[in-house]
Amino acid sequence: MRFTFVVPALATAARDAARASEPLTRIASWSAARTPASSLESAIVQALGVATPAAGGDLPIAPATALGAGLEPGAAYVLAAEPVTLVAGRDDVTLAACVDDLDSDETAALVAALRAHFAADGLHFHAPRASVIYATMAARPALANAPLAEAIGGPLSAHPPRGADARTWLRWTTEIQMLLHAHPINAARERTGRPPVNGLWFWGGGTLADLGIVAPFQAHVADDRTGDLVRGLARHAGGEVLRLPASFDAAVHAVPATRPAAHVVVALPALRDAATLAWAEGAWLAPAVAALGRGRIASLALVTDRGSWTVPRPGPVARLRARLAPRRFDAGRP
């Protein structure tokens, strides 16, 4: 049995606390090195064996996250259409933030307006749950977009759409900005001090076929965007999807005795601070490291915002190195 832990925000919000973590020090000391990645999404698909695109192409995570959120895309081309707040400056427009606090009524109202506006363009909008919007098309556009994590906080001009259809998408995104700016939902949000949704960021385009063949695995996930990606990949692979249990031991007990070589993927909620890291250590990471040391599991992988570590059961040399010269965990460096 092997375990993979997906741990959002470990390289950012919880980075300083992670350096002092005992189970993370063991993982860093027992592993050979980190496999770098540009984002959590790219680290997840690398760790799970998803086909990566050619240079300049989109990482096709949208069809997987859509499937995980409850949308059945079939053969359609899918793009994540992230609700965002745009701030106009003197010389440019900045993608200030992703908006993830829309309720179901707000999301439905925005999607209804988008559907009506683009009904004749072959661009269809879907909201499988609150704050989560996807766009689908029957045909694949000649388009490549920067991931949201790369574009957020910067000017729109730094990350324009690329490809033969880029001009069409630039026009559509401008129309969307005008449509959403005037929408009553935004007036209501601003009255209550919440950020407006005055744009959509399209990215992660592809089809389920672009994901290739992924080996089946058992997934334990929370109801968040990272959970959607892992859940969608598990469903695409024909694996089993379960809700996130309370502890590592509960996840081990969920593996059937007839499948001792199973791959179990646990997508934890984002670790925002030292307190949430302490919870993850006690319930998951420390028991998993102990189980690896005793041979209860065959290997352990840790996937973070900046890459992943794969840790086999440590031999005598690795154990001695960990005791004499422990390597502090630093998710932001190789």
* CA neighbor of 314 nearest in space, from 105, 107, 25: 25
For residue 54, pLDDT over 70 is answered with no
Asked whether the beta carbons of 147 and 44 are under 8 A apart, the reply is no
Model pLDDT, residue 127: 97
Model pLDDT, residue 327: 80
**What's the pLDDT band for 202 if we cut at 50, 70, 90?**
very high
Give the predicted TM-score (pTM) of the model: 0.91
Q: Which structure tokens are listed for 19?
A: 């350096």
Model pLDDT, residue 332: 62
Tens digit of each residue's pLDDT (9 = 90 or more) over 226-272: 999 999 999 999 999 999 999 999 999 999 877 776 899 999 998 88
- Side chain identity at 34, as an amino acid letter? R
Helix axes 62-69, 225-236, angle to 10 degrees: 100
Partners of 135 in the β-ladder? 79, 125
Tens digit of each residue's pLDDT (9 = 90 or more) over 89-113: 888 899 999 999 999 999 999 999 9
**What's the pLDDT band for 53 if we cut at 50, 70, 90?**
low
**CA 198 to CA 99: how far, in whole Å?**
10
**β-bridge pairing 35-36 and 77-88:** unpaired
Model pLDDT, residue 56: 56
Tens digit of each residue's pLDDT (9 = 90 or more) over 103-153: 999 999 999 999 999 999 999 999 999 999 999 999 999 999 999 988 999
Model pLDDT, residue 55: 53
Helix axes 22-30, 316-324, angle to 10 degrees: 130
SS in 3 state form for the chain? Answer: CEEEEECCCCCCCCHHHHHCCHHHHHHHHHCCCCEECCCHHHHHHHHCCCCCCCCCCCCCCHHHHHHHHCCCCCCCEEEEEEEEEEEECCCCEEEEEECCCCCHHHHHHHHHHHHHHCCCCCCEEEEEECCEEEEEECCCCCCECCCHHHHCCCEHHHCCCECCCHHHHHHHHHHHHHHHHCCHHHHHHHHCCCCCCCEEEEEEEECHHHHCCCCCCEEEECCCHHHHHHHHHHHHCCCEEEECCCCHHHHHHCCCCCCCCCEEEEECCCCCCHHHHHHHHHHHHHHHHHHHHHCCCCEEEEEECCEEEEEECCCHHHHHHHHHCCCCCCCCCC
